[in-house]
Structures are given as C-alpha cells and as structure tokens.
Amino acid sequence: MSDRGIGGDNGDNSSNGHNSNASVTVIGLGPMGQAMAGAFLDRGHPVTVWNRTPSRADALVARGAGLAGSAEEAVRAAGVVVLSLTDYDAMYAVLGGVDPAVFAGRVLVNLSSDTPERARAGAAWAAERGAGHLTGGVLTPPSGIGSSEATTFYSGPPDVFEAHRPVLEVLTAAEYKGEDPGLAALLYQLNMVMFWTSLTSYWQAVALAGAHGLKAADILPLALDATNLTQFLEFYTPRVDAGDHSGDVDRLAMGLASAEHVLHTMRDAGVDGTLPAAVAEVFRRGVASGHAGDSCSSLVEVLKVPAGSRG
C-alpha cells in the first residue's frame, strides 16, 4: 500500500475541499474512475482506490495510490469519496454493506450515471447516513478528465459544492446547476439522448456506405456536415418555445416521405433498418395526429404524449 493513499490524512473525517492536498477516495475503476484517480494523483492528492475487480487498480497503485482492502476501508480513508460506477445499483452493491456510521460527515461525489429519480434516491440514502451527496454528470470521455476544457454538471447542496469545488475542478470544469440532486442527472440524460441517437445515426450511415463499397473515411466530410445541426437548433429553439410549429419552411408530410426514403435505401442495401424505421414511425404518428402541414418541430408535441395513450 502506498503512503500517499490510505492513511495519508490519517483517515480522518475531513471533507475540506479547499485543502489542496485533500485526500480523495475513488471507488469504481472502469476507464472513467481510472482516469479520475490518475488526475488526482497528477495533482498531488493522496488517493485511495477500491474496485470490485482489484487488478484494475494495479497501474494506479504503481503510481502511488493506496488500494483499500474493502469498500469500508476506502470510505474511511478520505472525506471526499468519488463514485464512478456503472449505475446507482452498483453503488448500493458496493456501499450497502458498509457500516452506516462511517459515512457521517463525508461527501459522496456520485459521478455514476443513472436516472434523475435514482439520483434523488441516492442523495436521500446518503443523507440518512449523515453524508453529503453531489450528483455529477460528466460530459467528457476519460481522455478529457484532468482538463478544464471538459465539463461536469453538478447538483446538490450549494454549500457542499462550493466547499469541494477545488477538488472537483481537478477532474474537469465544474458547473453547479442547482440543489435538486436529480438535476445534474437530468441534464446528463438530455445530453445522452442526443449523443447516443446522433452517434448511432453515424454508425447507420457508415453501415449503409459500407454496403455500397464506401469506407468511413470516404464519408467523413459529409458526416461532419450532416451532424452539425447548429443552424437548425438555433432556428427551431425560439419557435418551439413559442409553440410555433407553422409549416412555412418545412412540413411534416415532406419529412415523412424523406424518412421513408431513408428506410427504403437501407432495405435496398440489405442493411438493418431498425433506427430509420423508428424515425419513420415517429413521423408517421405525427402525420396521423394531424400535423401533416405543420413543421417537423410539431413532433415535440407528439413525443410528449406516451405512445400507449394516443387515441
């Protein structure tokens, strides 16, 4: 065990993030947790780590991190406990067996992604044990950890955030969004719904291109242009907020015809059409709901209604 890790702050309950040498515990050493523990080590923080699969700690231990023998030992080692787990279920799996008294006065910085509801329940779970809880939504891959150009959204008690801002800023720029513990999780999920759907549309395009003998590199300029939606988002945003879906520049009926052309192009090429079929189905519902002559932005109103409850 490294002398920079466990015991580096005598395992005290200090949660003073202003201390530039504050001890930090990182629980969960997937690609993200490893990058985070590495960033803390780079900045001279004594770091204790714990992971279900201990071998993932090897490189960090070689760099000076302390490897805790149990999750409880890891929590005891620092006032700030960063969680980088797959989801909140993993948090309960890891921390559920820890003596509840150990959490008192510590802060759980939960950078595991999950739903807003589960983030709120996680914050309540921490509060029952006397711990502070900050929900984080990390908007960068592991390569961005340690850079102030990357951002993490936080929500939770403002005083807890401010007290620990210096430690949080070791990871990325830290943007405080509000007190509701679910808020950072919501903003993260808003980011992800656009990210995953856009990226999957790129995989779809590469698959179609490949079926026609084109490589990903052949369509890179086209892909960069097609996925840059800045002009569209800036145009639609004020109109959507004003409830203006007038079909002056685009009409949903045109959108449906186009979405079906995309779907048929996939099918002609023998490429899986699950994603374009889903897109065409959303457009079809919009037209069926009476929006054929409205802008494609009227899909916002259609999507607000749960699919099962339409007349």
Angstrom CA distances, 167 to 43, 84, 283, stand at 10, 15, 46
> Measured from the CB atom, is 105 or 141 closer to ligand NDP?
141
The label of the residue with tokens 């007290």 reads: 163
With 0-12 CB in 10 A as exposed, 13-18 as middle and 19+ as buried, what is 208? buried
The continuous run of DSSP H or E covering 263 comes out as helix 252-269
User: Stretches 78-86, 169-177, 203-211, 301-309: which one binds ligand NDP (CB under 6 A)?
Assistant: 78-86
Chosen residue from 53, 230, 231, 309 binding ligand NDP by CB under 6 A? 53
Scan residues 131-170 and list those touching ligand NDP (CB under 6 A). Answer: 138, 141-142
d(CA 136, CA 69): 26
User: Stretches 89-97, 169-177, 227-235, 239-247: which one binds ligand NDP (CB under 6 A)?
Assistant: 89-97
Cβ count within 10 A of residue 227:
12
Chosen residue from 1, 18, 31, 200 binding ligand NDP by CB under 6 A? 31
- Tell me if 186 contacts ligand NDP by CB under 6 A: no
The minimum distance between CB 30 and ligand NDP, in angstroms, equals: 2
Pairing state between β 147-155 and 132-138: antiparallel
> Measured from the CB atom, is 33 or 255 closer to ligand NDP?
33
d(CA 97, CA 77): 16
d(CA 122, CA 108): 10
> Measured from the CB atom, is 56 or 177 closer to ligand NDP?
56
User: Stretches 22-30, 115-123, 165-173, 178-186: which one binds ligand NDP (CB under 6 A)?
Assistant: 22-30
Task: Please identify the residue of the shown chain whose CB is closest to the bound ligand NDP.
Answer: 30
> Which two three-digit tokens encode residue 30?
């997937």
Chosen residue from 2, 23, 48, 51 binding ligand NDP by CB under 6 A? 51
For residue 254, the SS3 value is helix
Phi, psi of 138 (to 5 degrees): -90, 120
> Measured from the CB atom, is 80 or 91 closer to ligand NDP?
91
Residues 60, 34 contacting (CB under 8 angstroms): yes
> Which two three-digit tokens encode residue 59?
């490189």
> Which two three-digit tokens encode residue 236?
């639609």
Chosen residue from 7, 30, 166, 178 binding ligand NDP by CB under 6 A? 30
The minimum distance between CB 51 and ligand NDP, in angstroms, equals: 5
User: Stretches 13-21, 85-93, 121-129, 239-247: which one binds ligand NDP (CB under 6 A)?
Assistant: 85-93
| Backbone conformation region of residue 91, classed left if phi is above 0, alpha if psi is from -120 to 50, else beta | alpha
Site size for ligand NDP, by CB under 6 A?
23
The minimum distance between CB 217 and ligand NDP, in angstroms, equals: 23
- Tell me if 292 contacts ligand NDP by CB under 6 A: no
- Residues near ligand NDP, by CB under 6 A: 28-33, 51-53, 56, 84-87, 90, 93-94, 111-113, 138, 141-142
